[in-house]
Amino acid sequence: MHEYSIVSALLARVEAEARAHGALRVHRIRVQIGELSGVEKELLESAYELARERTLCEEAELEIVAVEARWACRSCECEVPKGAVLRCPICDRPATLAEGDEIILERVEMEVPDV
Amino acid sequence: MCETCGCGDPDLVPIEVHEAILSENERGARHNREHFTEQRVLVVNLMGSPGSGKTAILEATAGALAGKRRLSAMSGDLATDNDANRLEAAGIPSRSITTGSACHLDAKLVHEGLHDLPWRQTDFLFIENVGNLVCPAVYDLGQAVNVVALSVTEGEDKPLKYPVMFRKADLVLLTKVDLLPHLPQVDVAVIEDGLARTMPEPAIIQVSAINGEGIDRWIEWLEGKRVAALSEAPTEERAEA
C-alpha cells in the first residue's frame, strides 16, 4: 500500500507550508486525486488517520476531490469514452489522458496567530 | 477572516498550493534522468506481478546480448537477494534494493542503488521493480521507458483491472507464451483488446524465456529505444559548450 508514503509526503509538504506561515495548527487540507492516479480514496483516508497523529494536522480534515478520467484525441481534442479503444475514431490517432492522473495538494487552511 | 466557510474565525488563513504531492520524488526522478542521459545509458523500468517472468526475461536478454552490449541491473525485492543473484549468475552486474515492506521503488532508492553499481560503463540499466501491478506505476524513477511483463497465466482481464499500470507502459511483454498450447481458455486477442482500451499506444511483444520466442523482437525494440534516446541526448561537445 503506497498510500502511506503518499500521506507522508503530503504531511511533510503541509507542515513545511504551515511552518513557513507560523501556523499553530492546520484545519483543513484539500487534495485532488485522479481516477487513474493509482491512489485509492479509502486507503488514503485510513493512511491519513494513522499518520496525522502528533503533527500539526492532528485535527485537520482531509478533503479529497475525486477527478474522473477523461481521454481525448491529441489532434482534434474530441472525447474518447472511458473503456473504449483509446484511439480517436475520427483522426485515428492515439488518445491522451486529459484529466484523471492528479495527486495534487490544492489548498491548506491553517490557523495563524495575529501578528 | 475565514472566507471559505464563513465560520468567522479571524485567524484561519487559506493557502493555495497546487503542487504534486510527490513533487519530491519527481525532483529525484529528474535528477536520476539527468545522470542517465549524460552517461548515455538507456534505463528500463521493468514492472509486473510477482512471478510474471521479469527476472527470466532479463536472463534471456543477457544471453541474447552477451558480448554485444553491456548491461547492469538493480532489483527491488521485499526480503531477499534472489533476483540480483540470478542476474549476476546470468552475467549482469546487479544490486538488490531490499525494500522491506515497501511495495515499490522510488527515485531516492534508485539513486542510492546507483552508488555501488557500475552502471556508467553500460549501455542498458534494467530496474526490476517490486512485483506488484499497482504501486510501482505511481513512482517515476527517472527511466527512459516503462516495460510491463504480463504472463499468459495471469488472466485475460489484467489490463482492464490494472489500468493505471498499463497506461504507463511503453511496451507490454506478454510472457510465457510457450504455455499457450496448454491454456485453451486463454485468448491472446482478449488480452490485446484489453490493452487497446488501457494503453493509448499499445505495443505488445509475445515472448518466452524458455524457448526464446520473441526475444529477438524485444532486443530490436530495446535497440530502437536506445537509438532514439541517444539521438535526443546532447552530444558530449554540445554538453560541454
Q: Could you tell me which residues are beta bridge partners of residue B148?
A: B47, B172
In sequence order, the 6+-apart residues with CB closer than 8 A to the CB of B235 are: none
Q: Which residues of B touch A (CB under 8 A)?
A: 2, 4, 9-25, 102-104, 106, 134-135, 137-139, 163-165, 167, 193, 196-201
Query: What is residue A106's three-state secondary structure?
Result: strand
Tell which residue, A2, A27, A52, has the closest CA to residue A108. Answer: A27
What CATH number does domain A3-69+100-111 carry, 3.40.50.300, 3.30.2320.50, 3.40.640.10, 3.40.50.1110?
3.30.2320.50
Enumerate the residues of chain A whose CB falls inside 8 A of the CB of residue B2: 109
Cα B147 from Cα B143, distance rounded (Å): 10
Residue ranges per domain, chain A?
A: 3-69+100-111
Q: Are B197 and B159 in contact (CB under 8 A)?
A: yes
Question: What is the mean predicted confidence (pLDDT) over B34-60?
Answer: 97
Q: Are B110 and B127 in contact (CB under 8 A)?
A: yes
The answer, yes or no, to whether residue B209 has pLDDT greater than 50, is yes
Enumerate the residues of chain A whose CB falls inside 8 A of the CB of residue B19: 13, 104-105
Q: What's the average pLDDT block by block, 10 residues per block, for chain A (115 residues)? A: 92 94 95 97 96 94 98 94 94 95 97 81
The pLDDT of residue B235 is 59
Q: Are B80 and B105 in contact (CB under 8 A)?
A: no
Q: Are B31 and B141 in contact (CB under 8 A)?
A: no
- Using CA coordinates, name the residue in chain B closest to A102: B20
Selected residue of A40, A48, A65, A105 to mutate for chain B interface (largest B Cβ count, 10 A): A105
The pLDDT of residue B239 is 44
User: B23-233 — its CATH code?
Assistant: 3.40.50.300
The answer, yes or no, to whether residue B238 has pLDDT greater than 50, is no
Selected residue of A2, A8, A87 to mutate for chain B interface (largest B Cβ count, 10 A): A2
Enumerate the residues of chain B whose CB falls inside 8 A of the CB of residue A41: none
In this prediction the ipTM stands at: 0.93
- Long-range contacts, A15-19 (Cβ 8 Å, 24+): A15/A55, A15/A56, A15/A57, A17/A108, A17/A110, A17/B15, A17/B17, A18/A56, A18/A108, A18/A110
Give contacts of A 35-74 with B, CB under 8 A: 36-39, 71
The answer, yes or no, to whether residue B175 has pLDDT greater than 70, is yes
Q: What does DSSP assign to residue B177?
A: G
Tell which residue, B167, B193, B155, has the closest CA to residue B52. Answer: B155
Give me the residue from A1, A87, A97 closest to B167, CB to CB.
A97
